[in-house]
Chains A and B, each alone.
Chain A
């Protein structure tokens, strides 16, 4: 074995010339990368310091404005508190309470659509944007009053809305004859429905 070692340990062979060129190229490329990375680090440091300075100035300004305001009008803070307590009119508060009640009842009994319709009617009176209903997993979902109308129209029991019922029936026929799979939570389905209805009209 010693003879193998003696002969092979210092074995030499001439490598192809282009290897050095490849090495030189790779080393040059590596240096450039290193340089650009350093530049980036330097740049990101400057951005960080800039942001820190800006944030400090904003905090100082906000604190000084706050203390200045409390010095000039000591009653302002308590006034703001009172205002925030009175910010919701009683009617909206009642509507929200009703919403919560409906939500609880829908979770307990999914069939209670009359309450949803009632809340919808009240929503137009109070100018509410959303109703809260129970989702498929009984999670609270906010829906617009229009969608509430659509949902309740699927049930012919209450209250009868001939225009919507007609639309729903038409939609059901179209969907039965198509390959689309609509879901109540999918906005795209509603858009698709609307487009299909428009096309048919």
Chain B
């Protein structure tokens, strides 16, 4: 049964681990640690929500725990308001998930964690603050900085794509 569960969910959960870790070595460790937690706590699943959701929370928490030990988040006072929405979003449609993962993984660990938690997982800033032991302001500023960095990366991509089109 455990192997069946692993086969069914491992690729999805590995995606979560890769998003938070940024490298395959850490992602492998997280996947292993996460599945062991899942199997040891299977009886605690009360069936309130979806099983996948419960499992995903375990993997997100495992990833956060793992990186909370390594990363100290500092409050960034300079909050940039013009964010990624201002840029040409059509390029996002053309980018593959794998490229987006690379883009997200270029963020510093602090920005990446907050970005993943807020934008992808849907945690509120208050929840992020509670989980990571930071203030809501720090969470917001980290997200704003993360968006700023992503925006620059996307703009570079757009410019590169434009140049390539002109050249061809």
Question: Do the beta carbons of A16 and B28 come within 8 Å of each other?
Answer: yes
Q: State the CA gap A65–B32 with chains docked (Å).
A: 65
Within 8 A of B (CB), among A15-44: 15-16, 19-20, 22-24, 26-27, 30
A16 nearest CB across to chain B (Å): 6
A23, B14: Cα distance in complex, Å: 14
B45 at the interface (CB under 8 A from A): no
Which residue in A3, A12, A27 is a CB contact (below 8 Å) of B39?
Answer: A27
Query: When chains A and B are docked, how far (Å) is the Cα of A9 from the Cα of B120?
Result: 6
A12 near B6: Cβ-Cβ < 8 Å: no
Q: Would you call A27 and B2 a contact (CB within 8 A)?
A: yes
What's the Cα separation between A24 and B4 when bound, in Å? 12
Q: A23–B35 contact, CB under 8 A?
A: yes
B131 at the interface (CB under 8 A from A): no
> A5, A9, A19, A30: which contacts B32 (Cβ < 8 A)?
A19
Out of A12, A20, A24, A27, name the residue touching B12 (CB < 8 Å).
Answer: A12
**Would A30 and B40 count as touching, CB distance under 8 A?**
yes
Q: Does A10 contact B (CB under 8 A)?
A: yes
| B101–A8 CB distance below 8 A | yes
Does B101 lie within 8 Å of A26, measured CB to CB? Answer: no
A13 at the interface (CB under 8 A from B): yes
How many chain-A residues does the 8 Å CB contact rule pick out?
A: 22
* B92 contacts A7, C-beta separation under 8 Å: yes
Residue A187, interface by CB 8 Å: no
B6 touches A23 (CB 8 A): yes
Q: Are A13 and B15 interface neighbours, CB within 8 A?
A: yes
Contact with A along B20-44 (1 / 0, CB 8 A): 0000100110011001100110000
Q: Judge whether B28 and A1 touch: CB under 8 Å.
A: no
Q: Collect the chain A residues with CB atoms within 8 Å of residue B2's CB.
A: 23-24, 27
* Contacts of B65-113 to chain A: CB distance below 8 A: 84-85, 89, 92-93, 95, 97, 100-101, 104
Question: Which residues of A, 97-119, contact B by the 8 Å Cβ criterion?
Answer: none
**B3 in the interface, Cβ–Cβ < 8 Å?**
yes
User: Are B15's CB and A20's CB within 8 A?
Assistant: no
Q: How far is the CA of A20 from the CA of B2 in the complex (A)?
A: 10
With known contacts A1-B84, A8-B19, A8-B100, A15–B36 Cβ distance under 8 A:
no
Cα distance A24–B27 in the bound complex, in angstroms: 18
Contacts of B93 in A (CB 8 A): 3
* Interchain CA distance A3-B99 in the complex, whole Å: 14
Decide: A1 and B119 in contact? CB cutoff 8 A. yes
Contact B101 A4 (CB under 8 A): no
Task: Determine whether B153 belongs to the interface, using a CB cutoff of 8 Å to chain A.
Answer: no
Compute how far the CA of A8 lies from the CA of B18 in the bound complex, rounded to whole angstroms.
Answer: 11
Interface residues of B (CB under 8 A from A): 2-3, 6, 10-12, 14-15, 18-19, 24, 27-28, 31-32, 35-36, 39-40, 84-85, 89, 92-93, 95, 97, 100-101, 104, 119-122, 147
15 intermolecular pairs with C-beta atoms under 8 Å apart: A5-B119, A7-B97, A8-B19, A8-B97, A8-B104, A10-B15, A11-B15, A11-B100, A12-B12, A13-B11, A14-B14, A23-B2, A23-B6, A23-B32, A24-B2
Binding site for B on A (CB under 8 A): 1, 3-5, 7-16, 19-20, 22-24, 26-27, 30
Q: Which 9 A-B pairs have the closest CB atoms?
A: A11-B15, A12-B11, A15-B14, A3-B92, A11-B97, A12-B15, A13-B14, A1-B119, A23-B35
